[in-house]
Chain A
Amino acid sequence: MRRYSIFAIAREAMRYHSGWERAWRAPEPKKRYDVIVVGAGGHGLATAYYLGKVHGIKNVAIIEKGWLGGGNSGRNTTIIRSNYLQDASAAIFEKALQLYEGLAKDLNYNVMFSPRGLLMLAQSEHEVRGYKRTVYANALQGIETEWISREQVKDLVPIINIDGPRYPVLGALYQARGGTGRHDAVNWGYARACDAMGMDIIQQCEVTGIRTENGEVRGVDTTKGSIDCGKLAVVVSGHSGVLAEMAGFRMPIESCPLQAWVSEPIKPVIDVVVMANLVHCYISQSDKGELVLGGGIDHPNNYSQRGSWYTLEETTRALVETYPIISRLKMLRQWGGIMDITGDHSPIISKTPVRNMFMDCGWGTGGFKAIPGSGWAMAELVAKGEPGPLAAPFSLERFREGRFIDESVAAGVAH
């Protein structure tokens, strides 16, 4: 892999950038791989990357039905934070955040991780209590996060209307290390690094069947033929139910759309990420200038990457109320992705009823920020066959046992 740097750019500039190599190849599938990862989203690619980097397993294929990163990893609002309430979530999201902090260097690809600071507004006494609880929990989990006053909120977010009239801002949970990243770059950086390790990323190749023998996985059928594998890691977010069905079991998952939208590009007006969970909207401004906006999911099951209009209106109302200046700005584009919502809104990193088949899914509305940590934990599970401490709490058994990891409990925050 040729390294990227300012010097490399300068060199290439002299010859009209004609010397750049492909970031990843377009290989035909081999007959067999030690591990097949289904789904070239961020989580699948990161799983493959850490399989190679940490566990030395490099005979790996990543099979993607469309274009790599074309699932939720390529269409999310890029919010990153680790100040989750429950121990299990905090551990894996913090692992992810730490990896994000060094990811550009690690991958030699600028993923533009931007620790610009993230606020979650408290607009009711209930939220105040919930966020303070999170501060205490995070302190014991080794995660920096703080409670800030409404005046501090106003300083960080000059365009906010903290005086209501409906839900005055009472303060916020603030994580200075939180922020955003460039979602496509995360996918591309991992893909390039996987490719450089000799892994095959096979795009436009849909898995259509999972072959098992005596309860153990043997391989997959795809639109490019059958491929054998030693182990199978299924990392397909919204399509997890479909893949599980191919292997003969069901998942505690429903698939439904989450939408996001952007404004026309404007000069910077907001430098941090702000989530307002009571009125349900979040906002940040990309480095290109568009406001990146989102809110809640559409509940009806839906695999179409399109949601209903009213969800946009609901969120936009909240945005206009909270940041009145955006009323005269305009929506440029809206889109949707297919969420994988589990019974407790927490992810699954787990063995399955089929031996040597593993699933990583259920990240729902909040898995972009988890990509490195999830990949790390999933790689460990796949390599060793048993979960490490990061993955263990996220096993499928928890639903039978009633051992839920519910993040929404403190102040209704699911992501």
Chain B
Amino acid sequence: MQIIPCPYCGVEAEETELTYGHEAHLKRVGPDSDAADFEAYMFTRKNPKGVHFERWRHSNGCGKWFLAARHTVTLEVFGTYPAQTTEPPAELVEKIKAKCPEWKGWK
């Protein structure tokens, strides 16, 4: 059972209180976009074997979506932060860099 803290209500929620929302920091691509961009937005996933930025909703809880940086092999949760941002907080990025020197960055 993975345990992930909700940055909104502070609860150390276990997975059954959460809903997984897949890759984070996707920017919606609208009607006049290029076919490749739209395909990328819809389907082409980062799916790294390593640090992953992803969305979670505290669905059996405060109901808020938040973002998390989690390692897909060790399952370490580096940190969580509110969904209302287009990029991860700088200190989180620094923390991950320090822990995973081989990490190529979140972009």
Contacts and interface: CB of A to CB of B under 8 A. Distances in A.
B75 to A, nearest CB: 6
A254 B75 contact: no
B39 A400 contact: yes
A277 interface: no
A253 B38 CA distance: 16
B60 to A, nearest CB: 12
Contact of B15 (A239, A245, A308): A308
B54 A399 contact: no
A51 to B, nearest CB: 28
B20 A308 contact: no
Contact of A301 (B39, B42, B54): B54
Interface string A237-255: 0010110010000111111
B2 interface: yes
Contact of B52 (A250, A301, A308): A301
Contacts of B22: 254, 299, 301
B47 A254 contact: yes
A225 interface: no
A212 interface: no
Contact of B35 (A254, A304, A400): A400
* Most chain B C-beta atoms within 10 Å of own C-beta, residue among A300, A309, A343: A300
B1 A310 contact: yes
Contact of A250 (B1, B38, B44, B72): B44
B25 to A, nearest CB: 14
A308 B47 contact: no
Contacts of A161: none
Given A250-B45, A308-B2, A309-B1, A255 B72 contact: yes
Contacts of A239: 49
Contacts of B48: 241, 245
B15 A301 contact: no
A303 interface: yes
A299 B44 CA distance: 17
A301 B72 CA distance: 6
A302 interface: yes
Interface in A302-353: 302-304, 308-310, 342-343
A252 B45 contact: yes
A400 B36 contact: yes
Given A300-B15, A301-B72, 8 more contacts: A241-B48, A251-B47, A300-B70, A301-B22, A304-B73, A399-B44, A400-B36, A400-B38
